[in-house]
Amino acid sequence: MTEKFIMAGTTPLHLCDSGEGEKCLVLLHGYLESMLVWEDFIPLLYKKVRVVTLDLPGHGISMVTGECHTMEFLADVVAEAMRVLGVERFTVVGHSMGGYVALALAERHAERLEGLVLLSSTPNPDTEFKRENRRREIALVKSGKKELLARVAPAAGFAASNRARMKDYIEDLTEQVHVTEDEGIVALLNGMIERKDQNEMLRQSSLRQLFILGRKDEYITEEVANAMVGNHPQAEVVWLDESGHMGFLEEPERTAAALLDFVGITAEKVDETE
């Protein structure tokens, strides 16, 4: 994996690119994360497909460009970054907030996509209750109390039954919250508050779609996930039975196999090229 900075239009962007592979997977991280969250997952993929990860503007060490980073702005940045890398078409994998960006990519740049994967994410807009929670988070950050997010959010992403064995990952994610710029957190919270309902767009899209969902997810409960699956018969679905919201860390091999299968890399094809 080669780490670099590029200019995606006028936005400086921090990314990693494995550089080789007929198929390309672009992995978009979630809220309060960065591309570092994929570090242990990438080795399950990069010998078989090209893998690109990046810090979405506002998180990691990519630039904060304003008080509100809309999902549409982030999608345009990703599309431009892939153009700069010379990748004409790719499959986008969006984890949580990264899924919201992936949906905006499908809406605005469908011709660039070979497929769309929502990994513990949803096309549903925020409920008013969720919007109010995000406004409270903005108030916390602006009042200098970001450590309250760091205390709660990382552990809540994992199934309760996995938290002990995921202790190191929880510590890493906690540190990630501490080093994320306050302005970036606020910009992305504002962007998520503004995001729209993408259900109809998804139903009308001709793109291949995959939902990867954790049965023990406390953010997207099994009830909500089942309703989403029922509303989108056009999508393929993979359930991670022992995962919460962080399935690519909780069940990495299962998640990687689902992604490789989705892009058409079978076990036989892998054997032939290794």
Give this prediction's pTM.
Answer: 0.95
User: Given this model, what pLDDT does residue 272 score?
Assistant: 36
CB 53 within 8 A of CB 38: yes
User: Given this model, what pLDDT does residue 266 score?
Assistant: 72
CB 107 within 8 A of CB 76: no
Residues 2-265, CATH architecture: 3-Layer(aba) Sandwich (3.40)
Token digits of residue 47: 């010998």
Strand partners, 239: 213
User: Given this model, what pLDDT does residue 274 score?
Assistant: 41
CA distances, 236 to each of 5, 82, 116, 209 (Å): 34, 25, 10, 6
Task: Please tell me whether residue 207 adopts helix, strand or coil conformation.
Answer: coil
Residue ranges per structural domain of the chain = 2-265
Per-residue pLDDT of the chain (274 residues; tens, 9 = 90+): 899 999 999 999 999 999 989 999 999 999 999 999 999 999 999 999 999 999 999 999 999 999 999 999 999 999 999 999 999 999 999 999 999 999 999 999 999 999 999 999 999 999 999 999 999 999 999 999 999 888 889 999 999 999 999 999 999 999 999 999 999 999 999 999 999 999 999 999 999 999 999 999 999 999 999 999 999 999 999 999 999 999 999 999 999 999 999 999 874 444 434 4
The one-letter amino acid at 264: G
Distance CA 3, CA 207 (A): 30
Phi, psi of 200 (to 5 degrees): -70, -40
User: Given this model, what pLDDT does residue 43 score?
Assistant: 96
